[in-house]
């Protein structure tokens, strides 16, 4: 069986985050061909070109981890109709220097959860634009979750509603299939 190793990048640090729950659900219901490596982003300082001479250890660790995976699943909240600074900062660090851009040719799946009716649709459109500039291959379509009830996804990623579970499993299966095709 051919396996894909994918980064799991979650743009929320909040305790009890619905996006953390969604990420765990994706990992739980993904096909056996998809293995996730959870990569932390919170220890990196804000991008500053002056630090390129001697990159901080957290930046070197993030870039090294991204270089070891074949694909990435980004699960992000939407802040002010965009993506969180945490995620944008990781994209900025990973894109430098241009010759070593960790996003180039990387297969990316994106999703996010919000209590609002349109989920994270606008933030994902912004993320799609940012990743296109980085020459990433983004899974087509939109996958956002309107988190209407507090228990929709349990802390461990368990989903009781069979329709929501099938939707999440389908997203993960499409991601795995695209990553395998692009390999």
- Residues 6 or more apart in contact with residue 16 via CB below 8 angstroms: 155
Prior bond to 97 cis, omega within 30? yes
Task: Give the model's pLDDT for residue 119.
Answer: 81
Range of the domain at 131: 4-182
- Measured CA to CA, the distance from residue 136 to residue 118 in angstroms comes to 25
Q: How many domains does the chain have?
A: 1
Question: What is the dihedral sign for C-alpha 126, 131, 135, 136?
Answer: negative
Tokens 């297969």, residue? Answer: 107
Predicted model pTM: 0.96
Radius of gyration of the chain (CA): 16
Report which of 6, 155, 24 is spatially closest to residue 73, judged by C-alpha positions.
Answer: 6
Task: Give the model's pLDDT for residue 150.
Answer: 81
Per-residue pLDDT of the chain (183 residues; tens, 9 = 90+): 789 999 999 999 999 899 999 999 999 999 999 999 999 999 999 999 999 999 999 999 999 999 999 999 999 999 999 999 999 999 999 999 999 999 999 999 999 999 888 889 999 999 999 999 999 999 999 898 988 888 899 999 999 999 999 999 999 999 999 999 998
Task: Give the model's pLDDT for residue 83.
Answer: 97
Task: Give the model's pLDDT for residue 76.
Answer: 97
- Residues 6 or more apart in contact with residue 65 via CB below 8 angstroms: 7, 37, 39
Task: Give the model's pLDDT for residue 80.
Answer: 92
Report which of 2, 14, 12, 70 is spatially closest to residue 41, judged by C-alpha positions.
Answer: 12
Task: Give the model's pLDDT for residue 142.
Answer: 85
Task: Give the model's pLDDT for residue 127.
Answer: 97
- Measured CA to CA, the distance from residue 174 to residue 86 in angstroms comes to 26
Task: Give the model's pLDDT for residue 147.
Answer: 85
- Measured CA to CA, the distance from residue 90 to residue 94 in angstroms comes to 6
Helices and strands, counts by H and E, the chain: 5, 6
Strand partners, 71: 6, 107
Query: Which CATH number characterizes residue 69's domain?
Result: 3.40.50.360
Report which of 64, 75, 31 is spatially closest to residue 178, judged by C-alpha positions.
Answer: 31
């Amino acid at each position: 069986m051919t396996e894909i190793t994918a980064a799991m990048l979650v743009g929320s640090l909040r305790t009890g985050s619905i996006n953390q729950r969604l990420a765990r659900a994706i990992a739980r219901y993904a096909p056996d061909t998809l293995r996730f490596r959870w990569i932390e982003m919170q220890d990196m300082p804000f991008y500053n070109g002056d630090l390129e001479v001697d990159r901080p250890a957290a930046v070197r660790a993030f870039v090294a981890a991204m270089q070891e995976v074949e694909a990435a699943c980004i699960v992000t909240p939407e802040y002010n109709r965009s993506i969180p600074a945490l995620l944008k900062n990781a994209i900025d660090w990973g894109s430098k220097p241009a010759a070593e851009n960790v996003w180039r040719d990387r297969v990316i799946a994106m999703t996010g959860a919000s209590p609002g009716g349109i989920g994270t649709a606008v933030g994902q459109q912004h993320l799609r634009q940012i990743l296109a500039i980085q020459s990433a291959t983004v899974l087509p379509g939109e996958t956002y979750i309107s988190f209407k009830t507090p228990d929709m996804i349990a802390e461990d990623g368990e989903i009781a509603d069979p329709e929501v579970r099938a939707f999440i499993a389908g997203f993960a299966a499409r991601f795995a299939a695209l990553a395998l095709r692009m390999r």
